[in-house]
Amino acid sequence: MKVRARDPKQVWKEDFESSPARDDGLETSTISGIPLQPLYTSSDLPKREEELPGQFPYTRGIHPSGYRGRLWTMRQFSGFATAEETNRRYKYLLANGQTGLSVAFDMPTLMGQDSDAPTSRGEIGHCGVAIDSLADMETLFEGIPLADITTSMTINSPAAILLCMYIAVAEKQGVPADRLGGTLQNDILKEFIAQKEFIFPPAPSMRLVVDSIEYCAKEVPKWNTISISGYHIREAGSTAAQELAFTLADGMAYVDACIERGMRIDDFASRLSFFFDAHIDFFEEIAKFRAARRIWARWMRERYGAQDERSWKLRFHTQTAGVSLTAQQPELNIARTAIEALAAVLGGTQSLHTNAMDEVLALPTDKAARLALRTQQLLAYETGVANTIDPLGGSYFVEALTDEMERQAEAYFKRIEEIGGVIPAIEAGFFQKEIADAAFRYQQELEQKRRVVVGVNEFTVDEDEHIEILRIDPKLESEQVARVRDVRAKRDPARWSTAIARLRKAAAGTDNLMPYILEAVRAYATEGEIMNTMVEVFGLYTEKAVI
């Protein structure tokens, strides 16, 4: 009689269960709390048709050639102090092999106010570069040919103004708008949800976003009109699945708004781009990126009926997780960032920012900024990871986790729909509460040492090494204030007042505001003046703070 061999998986299961387990009390779920099996096997793989890069639903990447065709763009987010100093840093980064620019603005610029506004005091040039008018923007890009580079601008409430400034600088360089390439963050929904740099209420905010998308579809066709961002949602404390779900839900809300305006999906969908976080939980992040592409492709094709393949493809930028960096033993941040960057690359990102080790303390020094860029170059040119497309495709674990991400995101889409959509959910505080709950849960896990952050709640040292940090000269503040006042004094007052009056009238009507903003920018109206003109019509939004 033949003895039937025991099922090897069953044997493994029994062996595993009878083996001693670590008793360190640490969580074995992902950092977001997804329970993990100790082992994944072929039985965890769903039955589905083979997925291939460059083919719907693009789980394995949007390009048939992966990084064999083209490496990701190394795009370091950078900006500090004045336009003049930042211009020097850009030239330094470009000379060191960076392939695209990414502008960080200071808080007054992000909040649409001029450097001489009373609440700008102490904030000028700290988080990024101070831009008050076209004059500053001209300085920022002095000697940098805008026809030859692409530029990403991280700005939201005043995004339309900064885009108009960029177009106006290009005009002066003799570069027509249809040759400009770059990305505007322009994602107001995640501001209400997470980063909180809102100014106008949701409805006029959405109008401005749609105005810029509509305008660019005609006039600046190579521009990525919006970078729908999960980064800030994640940094505010969300889980990976929340980041994925809320970001894609925001994306769909923009699509709905554009369709409502009367645009055809295939006229704008290919210019939508995304921006995700690369956090420290390696496989979860890779699964998140893969799931994002699959979900977006399905929704674009099946729900929105997009016909153009380019409308189905989710393209994204990634930044490593600022929130994972530690002030304690900051050199450890180089290792963290390298691992996170690797996850982004294995997840198929189109462009990448790697954080500098000192960003948890202040803006990066030249040396730290270069080290961060070098980390990407090391990944691209030394490790060999760019040679094979989606190298983790087919991994039992990664495929199962990709499916789990998709499942959790779809569950969130249903909940958001039940509340009535993204804006009602914002007004109900839904996202804000989900994120705050997740952030608090994670903090408690740290306090209870169920999770370890090396150098913070374990493996600590008494005395931290002192590292050099970048200081912003306090003199800069008064100089920038003088500069904006000088611009106001020297411009053509008639052209300025006509432009502002026309903008005010247009804001009260239904015209696309972009041409009016562009004319105000050309007339050297300051950012604060343009914003205030619109505030008069649109009003201000205040958030009901929920703990």
Rounded to a whole number of angstroms, the minimum distance from the CB of residue 328 to other proteins is: 5
Rounded to a whole number of angstroms, the minimum distance from the CB of residue 118 to other proteins is: 8
Tokens 């009056």, located at residue: 501
Tokens 């998709």, located at residue: 406
Strands 150-154 and 226-229 come out as: unpaired
Q: Which residues contact 475 (CB under 8 A, 6 or more apart)?
A: none
Instruction: Please state the φ and ψ torsions of residue 276, each to the nearest 5 degrees.
Output: -120, 165
Separation between Cα atoms, residue 128 and residue 133, nearest integer Å: 15
224, 182 Cβ separation under 8 angstroms: yes
Specify the residue, 206 or 438, whose C-beta has the smaller distance to other proteins.
438
381, 58 Cβ separation under 8 angstroms: no
Separation between Cα atoms, residue 532 and residue 172, nearest integer Å: 26
Specify the residue, 96 or 329, whose C-beta has the smaller distance to other proteins.
329
Rounded to a whole number of angstroms, the minimum distance from the CB of residue 477 to other proteins is: 9
Rounded to a whole number of angstroms, the minimum distance from the CB of residue 121 to other proteins is: 6
DSSP string, 223-244: EE-EEEE-HHHHHTT--HHHHH
Rounded to a whole number of angstroms, the minimum distance from the CB of residue 471 to other proteins is: 9
Specify the residue, 129 or 514, whose C-beta has the smaller distance to other proteins.
129
β-sheet bridge partners, residue 101? 151
Please name the helix (run of DSSP H) or strand (run of DSSP E) that holds residue 53, with its range, or none: none
Strands 77-78 and 101-104 come out as: parallel
Specify the residue, 196 or 505, whose C-beta has the smaller distance to other proteins.
196
Specify the residue, 362 or 537, whose C-beta has the smaller distance to other proteins.
362
Specify the residue, 81 or 506, whose C-beta has the smaller distance to other proteins.
81
Separation between Cα atoms, residue 422 and residue 235, nearest integer Å: 20
Separation between Cα atoms, residue 312 and residue 292, nearest integer Å: 11
Specify the residue, 65 or 119, whose C-beta has the smaller distance to other proteins.
119
Specify the residue, 327 or 335, whose C-beta has the smaller distance to other proteins.
327
Separation between Cα atoms, residue 226 and residue 316, nearest integer Å: 11
Q: Name the nearest CA neighbour of 284 among 36, 22, 27, 24.
A: 36
Rounded to a whole number of angstroms, the minimum distance from the CB of residue 507 to other proteins is: 23
Separation between Cα atoms, residue 232 and residue 225, nearest integer Å: 18
Specify the residue, 5 or 547, whose C-beta has the smaller distance to other proteins.
547
* Residues binding other proteins (CB under 8 A): 107-108, 110-111, 119-123, 126-127, 191, 195-198, 235-237, 323, 326-328, 360-363, 435-436, 439-440, 443, 446-447, 453, 456-457, 466, 469, 472, 542-545, 547
Specify the residue, 15 or 465, whose C-beta has the smaller distance to other proteins.
465
Please name the helix (run of DSSP H) or strand (run of DSSP E) that holds residue 103, with its range, or none: strand 101-104
Rounded to a whole number of angstroms, the minimum distance from the CB of residue 234 to other proteins is: 10
Separation between Cα atoms, residue 438 and residue 242, nearest integer Å: 9
Q: Which residues contact 481 (CB under 8 A, 6 or more apart)?
A: 115, 116, 124
- What one-character DSSP code corresponds to residue 117? S
Rounded to a whole number of angstroms, the minimum distance from the CB of residue 17 to other proteins is: 35
Rounded to a whole number of angstroms, the minimum distance from the CB of residue 330 to other proteins is: 11
For residue 74, the SS3 value is strand
Rounded to a whole number of angstroms, the minimum distance from the CB of residue 528 to other proteins is: 13
